[in-house]
Amino acid sequence: MAVGPETVSQVIHPVAGVRIGIAEAGIRKKNRRDLVVFELAPGSTVAATFTKNQFCAAPVRVAKEHLAAGAPRLWLVNTGCANAGTGEPGLADARESCAALAKIVGVQAREVLPFSTGVIGERLPMDRLVAGLPAAVANLRADAWLDAAHGIMTTDTRPKLSSLQVEIGGKPVTITGISKGAGMICPNMATMLSYVCTDAVVARDDLQAWLAASVDQSFNRITIDGDTSTNDACVLAATGAAGVIIPARGPAADAFRAALDTVMRELAQAIVRDGEGATKFVTVDVVGGRDTQECLAVAYTIAHSPLVKTALFASDPNWGRILACVGRAGLPDLDVAQVDIWLGDVCIVKDGGVSPAYTEARGAAVMQQEEITIRVELARGGARDRVYTTDLSFDYVKINAEYRT
């Protein structure tokens, strides 16, 4: 179950300097793509953001170490096992997987970044993972983005891709990325895995700063169930193969960053659209806060409310649940008499009470839609922000109740 159209109907542009290999290693299930290798051209710059969950997975710890040590040449991704909550043995497994891939390709183990997703608390089946590496390396090719998007899925129902070409300095620059995620989605960085590459030339410090800023406005603005994962990672590589240098400032930087933001936003929203059991794609837009944090406090209180989310699933315009969320979001000295709330184009609350123009029929008509915007006007200042979320359905409970069975 997913909301809106598939994202794979667009043209997927290969990124010069990137090859991707996929294999079926049988890490958790047979006959399923579950091992993905990204190979980056020499000289590529790499930036990344990782989960802030203090029980971060072994591959997250190793990836951070290797990223700090130099320029990565390979990314190794497995599904089916998160290798989180596995202590020192899990760290040893993550390092062994890097060493095994490095040996096949002929690089140093520190040039490999490992990533894992799947069940927490189980060790990697190292025999199967290592045995699958030669096939993944043998399959390396430039046009494997769609296969890779399938290869990193867990409870996802469809692959998630975004790809753009923009002209900078009279030359085309490509940005292409994939992501995975459907449950355990509530960012404190970016609750998912995402791999994005460009063929532009970008200095590492600029790449890291632009990635962090883009993540903050995309993956850090989504939530499905309020749970932050142990394995989150968003990685961005610039191969430089197009020969287009992106300076730190100026029109070229602005054009590149706008394209990057578009790709990241599409990937983040694709995760919400494919949320576990989701039947609605919901934008919670809060305006008139004193600062961004006030707006986000209100938006996330609404987006995380089981009562609001189940009303959305039922297409029930029970607007009192939204009103209660605004009131308990923790804003100091909130003048509720100034608050307006809209459901789509229907004003449901005016000046702190039910809008005189509101009718249950009008509210119900909006709630029947697949894509819904809840807008809250606080009238406290000039700040504005938004988050994207889903409803909470029977299928969400079923998927997570049966996750390990």
Q: Would you call 191 a catalytic residue per the annotation? A: yes
Q: What is the DSSP string of 141-175?
A: BTT-HHHHHHHT-SS-SS-EEEEEEEEETTEEEEE
Half-sphere exposure of 149 (CA within 13 A, CB side): 23
Q: Are 223 and 187 in contact (CB under 8 A)?
A: yes
- In terms of DSSP H, where are the helices of 274-338? 292-304, 306-314, 319-327
| Helix, coil or strand: residue 23 | strand
Active-site choice (191, 301, 389, 390) = 191
Degrees to nearest 5, angle at CA 339 with 337 and 343: 140
Q: Provide the residue type at 65 as one letter.
A: E
Per-position DSSP letters for 197-266, written without gaps between them: EE-SB--HHHHHHHHHHHHHTTGGGB-SSS---SS-EEEEEE--TT--B--SSSHHHHHHHHHHHHHHHH
Burial of 143 (0-12, 13-18, 19+ CB in 10 A): exposed
CA distance 217 to 364: 31
Amino acid at residue number 97: S
CA distance 241 to 238: 8
Question: How many angstroms separate the CA atoms of 345 and 354, rounded?
Answer: 15
Tell me how far apart the alpha carbons of residues 238 and 253 are, in angstroms, rounded to a whole number. Answer: 14
Where would I find the H helices in 1-72? 58-69
| Residue type (1 letter), 369 | Q
- Look at residue 195 and give its three-state secondary structure: strand
Q: Which residues are catalytic?
A: 191
